[in-house]
Structures are given as structure tokens and as C-alpha cells.
Structure 1
């Protein structure tokens, strides 16, 4: 029976992979045995990377242990961890440490050298890349292959023969060509198509066949009703699963189809970090990033989708962990000069659109490869700055504000809702007009679209105005896990922001404000957090929408919304905590404060 490939079922979030690696650092240079494996799992618990916020993990734990875990300012001591292990009655606790390190060794960030644990040069780069780890993941994914001597998951009998990341790029490229040859606009592949065909692409020789299958299925659905299209897709998925698995056992088919979406979603999250793919069509299509055309075509020209041959596990792990391997096929002077030209065209086009002076391109003919790479990085950084300015311009028309409102009102139907909420909140804050800078902390691709949510340890969005400054924290959580994950971090992020910015506020946006979150923020405003009071304004997504609707009415009447209007609202809600006898009263008052503020502005 054939098996799909998967990125990682242990660490589903790319951001957490870096945190797992940081937690591993104290064990570097030690023998990797049952004792150190147990110690690693303990470090994950201690750093709240394992179990924290999980009701399943909390089941069976004493209440005081759960309270300690949830209090992020409290240390999870060795004694507490021993009580956790005893209460959970783990049969082989060291096995959990071995499972937790697997994704780190799988992608070349750590390895065991003659029994000694080491973090590779690539791993050190991941640790250092606090905000943007795209280049690190790219270097890893163009090497990770199936099968490989480090894994027994896939047989070495010819059935499996693929570098999944590059094969995925090639599949999208071939689908785009076939689709455009039929007179259609190329759009990449849909998320449904990705989840069905990409994790099951286990041999590069099937790329063309899969591309033809995707196009054939699209053609068959043309002119059909929505119900008929769904029936066709469901029937095809089942027959495809039977063929792929070589089994007609219903339980095996159901499990396979259930896993397809999880594996596909996870692959998209990780592969998006490389900046070689982009999301389009309101999150429903995955396409090649046009700004990486030269790099992508270079991978195809050199057939990087074909696995390499290795003598043994040590040779493969050495290859995975060696940052100098392989030499990237676009690292030639001619191709790098071509990339300079592509990025410069983007920069100059943005400068023209923004009414700015066009930067003169440097003479690249005498530059070395290293100088060309530095120049490319310089141009890409400039492009990102210009794209943020362009975002501000694009956010101003009433039509844009209407679009943000509609998307926020339908956020629960969106793909990747947490990421979408961060993006729409950023654009909504841009739309409020006169900020000196709106600075989202999420990493972005070459299209300036977010590739993942903002990393831990920093605010989601930073806002700078003439008379005050503000952070914005957003979450799609609404249950008690909202308080677990957001309560203390929001206060800590604001305190860090206060250290370098005067007159600092925080807006917290969520579907609903959980009572424990409200209580935490009320205490911070009324009694203080670590010695001094804060100004935190928790509002719901619907209340943020009302702010944007107010802005829209003001804009339509030809008047101007200023940062003073925003500050008055944020300050009124934050300061109302002082006169509210409880957090429940404070949250209830917020609706009235917001409605009165809106009425006064639009009258």
C-alpha cells in the first residue's frame, strides 16, 4: 500500500519548529540517549512548548499543576514536571523526546554525530532568523527527499522517488501551461487539488500524469451545477484513493481522505515560507511566485525534483546539515544579474506608482556573485518598504474599506483565519489614514502577503502616530484558550513596547472577549502589571468592523478621520476600566462607548 508524504505531524506550525530547536540548545554536545531524550521532553514542557493550553494534556493533572502551567510568569520547575510525568503515567517518556526531535533532524537542523547531539549550521541560522526564516526553509526543502537513508518510512524499491517541494513547483508549472494552452488564465492549483495531488506525488515521473489529471477533472466540471461538481469531485477522490492505496478497504480509504487535508494544509504552511509559492483567489489557489521565476526555472533546468543517491544515513544527514550544499542553480553571475533586473523592475514600477523618484540601477557587470546577492537583498528590502507604502495608498478608497468590512464579517468562512485576521486588521489600521507607520510583524512573501502569523515574543502589529503609539494584538480564539494563549503575552508585549514608546496603548481584537481575558486586562488597567498600569482596549471583531463602518461614513461625506479620533476611542475604553466595578461591567460598557463615539463622529 502506498503512503503519502507529510512535513511533520509532531510540529504542525513552522513557527514552533524554531522554538523546539531553541529548547534543544542546552543539550548540544551531550550524548543522545534515553536520559537526554527525557531531558529534552522536560525542556519542552518547561518552556510551554508541549502541553500548554491543551485540555487533553491537562486531563488527570492536579489543579495546582494546571494553574502553574497556565501562569506564564510562573516557572515550571523540575518538581512540577516530575508530578506531570507521574500523573500522566507515561510508559516510555524518552520516546516522546525522540519523536519531538524528529522534525529537526528530518530537515537538517540538528543531527546525532557518533551519538552526540549537534545543531547544524542551518539550524543555527534558523535560531537566528527570529522573524523571517524563508531562506533557511528553502535550503532545507530543496534537499529533503523521499526515500532517504535516514528514514524507514518509505521503501527504496522505485515506488518512491521525489523531492516533494520541487516536484510541487513543477506540478503547478505544468498545470498552468496545460490550462493556459486550453485558452484559460493560469491560476495555479486549487487548495482541493493541492491536498489531493501534492502529498500523493511520491514519484517525480508522475508529475505530468498528475498535471493532466488535474486539468481533465477541471474540464469535466465545466458547465455543471455546484451539486454535480461536488459529486464528481467526491467520486474522483474516492477512485483516486483506491488506485493510490491499492486497496478498496473502506476504513483505509476514509483514513487516507481524512489525512489528505491535514497533510496538504501543513505542506502549504511550510512551503509558503520559502517565498516560492503565493496564495491567490482569496486563499483558494496556490501558485508560483512570479518574482522567483528565475530561481524556480533554474530548479527545473537542473531537475532538482529528482532525488540524489547516498551511500548511507550518515552521508545523507551530512548533506542535509551542510549549509554549503547544494550549490543553488541560480548562483551564477548571469542568473543573478537577471534576478537583479526583475526585482529592479518591481522597485521602479512601485516608485512610479507612488510618485517617487526612480532609483537608478547599479552596474552589475563588474559585481561578484556575493555582491550581486547583497544587491538583490537590498532591492528586495526596498521593494518591501515600497509595498507597505502602496498598501497604505490602496487602503484609502471607500471601496477598499468596504472590502475589509465584508471580509471581516465573513472571517469564519476564510481560509487560514488567524493569518487573515492579522492581515485585515493591518489593512484596516492603514485605512484609518494618518499613521506615521503601520508595521505588521508577520513575515511576508515577495508579493507582500503574509506567509504566517507574527512570531511569538513580539506584538502582532505596531502602530506609530504623531501623538501616541499603539500595538494591536489579534486572535481567532474565543474560549478559555484565548486567555491561556493571549492574556499574559499581550501585557508583556505592551510593557516591552512601553519601554521604547511613550503614550502607548494596546487594542486586542478577537471574535469575543473571554471573561478570563477581560479580567486579566481589567486588572492590568486598574491595578497594573508588574508595577504600573496599562492601557489595553479589548474589542470584538464586530466592534472593529463598526470602527471601519464609521470611517467609511466619514470618508463618504468628504471629511477626514484622524488619529486623534482613534486615540479618543481607545483611551475612553481603556480608562473606563477604572470606573467599572468589574471586568464584566467594563466589557458591557465598551459597546455603549463605541456606539456613542461613532454617533458623535458621523452626525
Structure 2
């Protein structure tokens, strides 16, 4: 058995957002309390592929399977799923699991196990914690419950330990609590108050050996005094190797690109799932979200930066337990908080070119590549679509009152999508009100039931005070039935809903116009009727 040593913290990139984690958890719900065997693993894998959460290469090699996977309204039969599994060799091995699909199962669910959502071990019952069920419930609500999701990940990460029994490492700290306490230490230092953590300093957190937040604060302060904020990747990499007690031979395992870039990105994503952290300085700094001050106060006062566990079961029972204090502490917004959100849209509309924003929208439309922007890349795609659409509208119609409805942090950046009962973005200009709804959903049922029907309901309410109101639905693609449903609302109730694919909407904005009324006048040629 290999000896444990200091290692950089690295979160799995297979589960990058709460929705994906919850979707995988939902596939395992029917098998909760069953004894985990290879046969049960295969049944769970069938559910994962049936729900199109994982796409084996073999699917692309068979045209009929590729067509089914691409069509949200079609589903695989059991026989087809078994054929896919049989012809999709998984060259994969995880400790405690057989080679192939059983090891692939462990790769998918290991992060949920570490985060306390799920407990499993071969030949033992599968258990989903209260925290895991809370996450599933939050994602299943329509719209999803963003505050509940933040509470779930806050619960998990204030207890998540770098040396938990599922990891073999000498590093021993609670990464989130360590981060929050170091930020507080810097905030209490007159020289560095309100700066937060510089992005190039995050590798230190990934490699720090223990929970000594004072020592890490002093280490960072010393670096800033001697070098300012001019660290290079190579400079920080060398210091991380020193912290890890790593030699030249360890460089093939501890790669610069991983420690200074890839793991940093994933660390930021995971920490921001709690809603406790804000990005500042165009993504250059990670700081506490001042709207969450009361909750952060409670965490730094009641949770340790270091904790060890004898075995997996003790760890699971600890991390999966719900702290009602975290649930009950509410976010406190200042009186002018809505102006913070609107001002951020205006700031980004000036800071970025129209071409840059439209290019970012196109990334969401195709889903074929990732944003490289230091801010946008850390905003979950559905919320990012609302943010980018708001910015694009403000860039094209400078006198328009653009009022997005998404929840936001103290920088005015979205933390999740807009809640139910109101349009995603409300725009006003002169006599017109425009209700903008954006979605990444492509399926007929999703667009008709979750978008067109609520849009019509919202518009009926707004028309009571302003009859000159219309709505626009924007999506990567518009289903034919969605267009028909929008047209039916016009015929039956006089409700104006115009449907745009993102690419067509980009074309509309690119052509320009003076106001909302101009945008409406273009609809006959450019909307998808």
C-alpha cells in the first residue's frame, strides 16, 4: 500500500454544477437502501444513459442511437441501452470496484459521496442523506430553488475535509472555512482590507498542509509585501512544491497547469456554489459576499478549519447532517440592492464590446465550447444567459430600462436564474413594457409547459396596468410546437409572444434599432414564425 503524502486539492470536473450532481443523484433514488452489487450498478448506469447524462462513444457510431440522443423527445429502449453498454468498453479502474462500468459508476458518484449527499460501498446498502434529498428537491422545484441549493452546498463545504476518509492525503483542512477565515484576517488588516484573495494566490490554498489560517494569512501578506501582485505561474508553482515537500520527481504528478489553472478554476466554481463568495476586479479576486455576512459570521465562529474522521461512515453522518442555523439565516440585501444589479449590467455593457457579448451568447447557443472570460466562465450557463441578454439589450438600446430578476451577489453578478412568478428580464421604454424570457431548454414539453404558459400568465398580469406589453422567448432552438403555442396565445387571448433562437436574436441586435418599438417592428422578418 502506497504511503500518504501531501497533495494539491483537486475537485472532480465531471460534476461542475448543482444541476448535474442532482440529476445523477435522481438516477440512484429508485435503488436507495438496496445492496450495491455490480447488477445494481448496471441498472443505475442504464438510468444515467437513459436520461442522457452520459454519452458513450458507441452512441455516435450508430446513427439511430445518435438521432435518439439528439432528440429530447425520444428515449432509448432497455434493449438499446443494454446494447450501448455492451459495446462501450470502459477502460477504467477505481479502488474497491471492478474494472469497467463499475469503476465508471464510482467516478460519477464519488464527489456526491465526498460532499455527503450519498453513501455507497460494494455489498452494502445505498444511502442518500437528508442533504442529498434536499438537493434533489431544490433542483426539482420549478423554478429551481437557488437559495436552497446554496444552503445545501454551504452545509457540505463547511464540513468537507481535505483529508476525509475517501482521500489519501496528509493535507488536513476544511477548504471553505480556511478560505473564509483567511479572507477575514486580510479584511481586518488595514493594508489589505476589502481585497479578498488574489486569483494567483489560490494555488496556496490548494496545497496548504493544515488548517492554520493565521499562518496562511501571514504567508500571503509576506508575498504581497515582497512581490506585490505580480506572481507568475512558475513563481507560485515553485512555492506550492515547497509547501507540498515535493521534489523534482513529483513534477510529473503535480503539474503546473493543474495546480495553477485547472484546479484553481474548479476550486472557484465549487466555493461559489455556496453563494458566500463574490468575484471582484473582473474576476481577479475572490472575496466574501457581503450580503451573506451574517451567515459567514456564524460559520467562522462555529466551524473548525481542520477536522479528522476515523472512517467513511462517521464522516458521512457528520457531513450529511443539516444545521438549521445555516438554513434559517437569511440573506440581507441593502435598500438600494436592485440598483447594484442594474449598475453591474450597465458597467459590463460599457466595459465589453457588442461583438464580445454576442460572441459569449453564441457560445451558450451552440454549447460546443467554454467561455474563456474570467467572469462569465464562473457563472452557471442558465444564469449567464440572463446576464448576457441583459447586457446585450443595454448595449443596443441605451435608453432602455433593463431590469433583470436573477438573484445576485454584492457585485451585482448573478448567482442563479430568476425565480418564478415574474419575467426573467423586465424592460421598459416610453409606453412599452417588454418581458424577456430566456432558456437553454430545447425540448417541446419544456418550452411549451415551462415557458410559453408562464409567459402568457405574466403578460396577462402586466397588461392590467399597461396594455402595450409584449413578450419575447429566447432559446438555443425553438421547437415548432413552441411557435404554434405562441401563435395560439395570440389568437385565443391577444397575447403577443415572439420566439427567437439565440442566433436569430443575435442577428436582430446586430442590425440595431433605436428602441423597443423598433425591435418589435423587425419581428415579421426575423422571429421564428
Normalised to the residue count of structure 1, the TM-score between the two structures is 0.66
> Hey, what does 1:511 align to over in structure 2?
none
Q: 1:208 aligns with which of 210, 214, 217?
A: 214
> Hey, what does 2:173 align to over in structure 1?
162
Q: Does 1:96 align with 2:46?
A: no
Classify 1:27/1:430 alpha carbon distance in 2 versus 1 (closer, same or farther; 3 Å).
farther
Classify 1:17/1:522 alpha carbon distance in 2 versus 1 (closer, same or farther; 3 Å).
closer
| Displacement after TM superposition at 1:30 (Å) | 1.8
> Hey, what does 2:291 align to over in structure 1?
291
Q: What are the residue-to-residue correspondences of 1:245-394 with 2, within 5 Å? A: 245-249=245-249, 251-252=251-252, 255-302=255-302, 304-307=304-307, 309-324=308-323, 373=328, 377=330, 380=332, 383=333, 387-388=337-338, 391-392=341-342
- Take 1:251 and 1:204, find their aligned partners in 2: how far apart are those partners? 25
Q: Secondary structure at the match of 2:473?
A: strand
Q: What are the residue-to-residue correspondences of 1:6-45 with 2, within 5 Å? A: 6-45=10-49
User: Max radius of gyration: which structure?
Assistant: 1
Q: What are the residue-to-residue correspondences of 1:402-551 with 2, within 5 Å? A: 402-403=350-351, 405=353, 408=357, 414-417=373-376, 419=379, 422-429=386-393, 438-441=403-406, 443-445=407-409, 448-451=412-415, 461-463=424-426, 469-473=435-439, 491=447, 494-497=451-454, 500=457, 504-508=471-475, 521=478, 535-538=498-501, 540=503, 543=507, 546=510, 550=513
Q: Secondary structure at the match of 2:286?
A: strand
- Take 2:86 and 2:335, find their aligned partners in 1: how far apart are those partners? 53
- Take 1:294 and 1:102, find their aligned partners in 2: how far apart are those partners? 32
Higher relative contact order, chain-length normalized (CA < 8 Å, sep 6+) = 2
- Take 2:335 and 2:28, find their aligned partners in 1: how far apart are those partners? 35
> Hey, what does 1:352 align to over in structure 2?
none
> Hey, what does 1:124 align to over in structure 2?
133
Classify 1:269/1:233 alpha carbon distance in 2 versus 1 (closer, same or farther; 3 Å).
closer
> Hey, what does 2:84 align to over in structure 1?
84
Classify 1:47/1:255 alpha carbon distance in 2 versus 1 (closer, same or farther; 3 Å).
same
Q: 1:568 aligns with which of 512, 521, 528?
A: 521
Q: Does 1:139 align with 2:138?
A: no
Q: Secondary structure at the match of 2:61?
A: coil
| Displacement after TM superposition at 1:165 (Å) | 0.9
From the two aligned structures, give the one with the greater helix fraction. 1
Normalised to the residue count of structure 2, the TM-score between the two structures is 0.74
| Displacement after TM superposition at 1:504 (Å) | 4.6
| Displacement after TM superposition at 1:170 (Å) | 1.6
Q: Secondary structure at the match of 2:279?
A: strand
> Hey, what does 1:596 align to over in structure 2?
none
Classify 1:451/1:266 alpha carbon distance in 2 versus 1 (closer, same or farther; 3 Å).
farther
Unaligned runs of 5+ in 1: 332-369, 475-484, 509-516, 552-560, 579-603
- Take 1:467 and 1:436, find their aligned partners in 2: how far apart are those partners? 10
| Displacement after TM superposition at 1:69 (Å) | 0.7
> Hey, what does 2:94 align to over in structure 1?
none
Classify 1:25/1:496 alpha carbon distance in 2 versus 1 (closer, same or farther; 3 Å).
farther
Q: Secondary structure at the match of 1:7?
A: coil
Equivalenced residues, count? 471
- Take 1:401 and 1:243, find their aligned partners in 2: how far apart are those partners? 42
RMSD (Å) for aligned C-alpha atoms: 4.2
- Take 1:112 and 1:253, find their aligned partners in 2: how far apart are those partners? 29
Contact 1:41 1:100 in 2 (8 A): no
